[in-house]
Amino acid sequence: MERNMGNFDRIMRGLVAVLLIALNAKGIIYGGTAVAGVIVAIIFILTSIVGFCPFYELLGFSSRKMS
């Protein structure tokens, strides 16, 4: 499992995850949308931490700069 996410991608996913969690906590999103948002937030947080996105792997895509 080789990293396939660049730093910018990881930071953006983290920010989106925080936004989704905040929207849920404030009650701006609720019901099924809130559940889906939290699930997406958890996935984004986990993929940001490890730097690997399985979906990118399936597509053969990488946002990581190779040096």
Gyration radius (Cα) of the chain, Å: 13
The encoded tokens of residue 42 equal 């958890």
Task: State residue 16's pLDDT score.
Answer: 97
- What are the per-10-residue average pLDDT scores of the chain (67 residues)? 92 96 96 96 96 93 84
Instruction: Spell out the alpha helix ranges (H) of the chain.
Output: 7-25, 32-50, 54-59
